[in-house]
Amino acid sequence: MTDLLLENENARRLVKTLGLPIPVPEKLARSRGPYEERPLDEKKVLVCGVGGLQHVLAQVLTKAGAYPLVLGTSDAVLEPFVGPGEAWARAPRRVEPGEAPEGERVDAIVFDGTGLETPDDLHQLYAFISPWIRRLIRSGRVVVLGRPAADAKKPVRAATRAGLEGFTRSLAKEIGGNGSIANSVFVQEGADDRLGPVLRFLLSPRSAYISCQPFHVTKLAKADETPPETHVLGGKVALVTGAARGIGEATAELLAAEGAHVVCLDRPADDGPCSKVAQRIGGSTLLIDITDVDAPQRIAGELKERFGGVDIVVHNAGVTRDKTLARMKPEQWDMAVDINLGAVIRITDRLLSGSVLREGGRVICLSSVSGIAGNRGQTNYSAGKAGIVGFVRALAPKVAKKGITVNAIAPGFIETRLTDAMPVAFREVARRMAAVGQGGKPVDVGQAITFLATPGAAGLTGETVRVCGGALVGA
């Protein structure tokens, strides 16, 4: 079902002209086509805050094509930006703290909070960002950088660091109406060189429906070479379960567009649509019911035999069997938990134990915001999807030495067959509960999965990333 307030120009105009007290959601800017060399071409990015990431920011932003606008009281703040600025012909400019210059607008704001020590320092968030919020363009970006609270030895420092997350979440709700998003990134000491790709992703239109999220960049997973910036999955083999439609289909397309050979897996009953997807993207088809006892072995065997292994595994296949617990039949419980969690673990284990998943591999599991937040009638589904969160967190350190990362994606309200079946009122409410005031698209989830699958995402592992547009529910 289409979102009238988003898709129908007449409805949008009507609401606006009548001045109805309904917020009209902003159409989100989205990326078309594969990864670009300069995802931030010609964008203006306000860089503010006091921290140790200025040199990294200078390199990343100018190379990505952005003009840095650096907040500071003297030209000394420009120093890290001069060299990279000359290299890519993106000269930095300085702006005075306080009132933003007349007519100046920015595409993104990046706050470096890695130097904050005490709650008093948090005042910088207010002082630096507040004057610029109204200068942020539509579908703008705010990224707040910090060090992980868990790594702080002093409680006061941990408190300060944790404060950044809360600030960002609330700010995300305030700017969502504009189609803008805000996220925080906590960079472990020594993992600064892994920030670049994360920043390129979060500042680009590829992250259109990711808001309110904390990301943790660590040096946990092994990674040695410089990650590619375009054709990021060239030479990789990817397995996508449930690839016949929806999020699976969108993901398979995006992975293929980055150069991966995608093995589209679905139930034998979905041969038609699954083969069509595989054919369209030049991939292969694998028809297996993942709940079969011999499924893990057959999948591992096929991948090993036909492709010599696999680099990316996307556990997307899932089902709902909704009933309140009192009314639920045992098979409904079993099915939902087994497909959403049991099969995921069995297949992953088999791929790992047989070394079918190669070094530098990527495992991405689909969780769900309702799994995190809880939802009436979904005790079985939530048990499975919340189980995923625990699974990736625990598995990540175990495979980090092999350079393998394990992450979960928790989609919020995504416009698919599943949500089309919801009663109108529920659907309307669910859409407007997001900070960006609308549902996401399968491609938004696909973009997040694809990013986690790239070599550049080596800094992220054990994470659960919500793709929910900053939904009110969940954490």
What positions carry a catalytic annotation? 381
Per CB under 8 A, the segment of 86-94, 154-162, 303-311, 423-431 that binds another protein is 86-94
Q: Please state, as a whole number, how many other Cβ atoms lie within 10 Å of the Cβ of residue 293.
A: 8
The answer to whether 63 contacts another protein (rule: CB under 8 A) is yes
Task: Single out the residue of 150, 87, 97, 155 nearest to residue 126, CA to CA.
Answer: 97
Sort strands 357-366 and 261-266 into parallel, antiparallel or unpaired: unpaired
CB of 453 to another protein, least distance (A): 25
With the C-alpha atoms ordered 379, 440, 204, 48, is the resulting torsion angle positive or negative?
Answer: negative
Q: Scan for tokens 């990817």, then name that residue.
A: 238
Minimum distance of another protein from residue 420's CB (angstroms)? 39
Site string for another protein, 20-59 (x = CB under 8 A): -----------------xx--x-----------------x
- Minimum distance of another protein from residue 230's CB (angstroms): 10
Angular region, 223: left φ>0, alpha ψ -120 to 50, beta rest: beta
Query: In one letter, which amino acid is 406?
Result: V
Among 34, 52, 65, 354, binds another protein (CB under 8 A): 65
Pick from 402, 457, 465: which is nearest to 195 by CA? 457
Return the range that interacts with another protein (CB under 8 A); candidates 83-91, 183-191, 256-264, 291-299: 83-91
- Spell out the residues 6+ positions from residue 120 whose beta carbon is closer than 8 angstroms to its own: none
From 20-28, 79-87, 144-152, 243-251, give the range in contact with another protein by CB under 8 A.
79-87
The answer to whether 312 and 233 are in contact (CB under 8 A) is yes
Closest separation between CB of residue 300 and another protein, Å? Answer: 41
Give whichever of 118 and 230 is closer to another protein, judged by the CB atom.
Answer: 230
Interface segment toward another protein; rule CB under 8 A; list 87-95, 112-120, 247-255, 434-442: 87-95
Place of tokens 């409410």: 429
**Given the complex with another protein, which of 80 and 469 has the nearer CB atom?**
80
Residues touching another protein, count (CB under 8 A):
16
Q: For the CA atoms of the chain, what is the radius of gyration?
A: 22
Amino acid at 163: G
Give me the residues that bind another protein (CB under 8 A), please. 37-38, 41, 59, 63, 65, 82-91
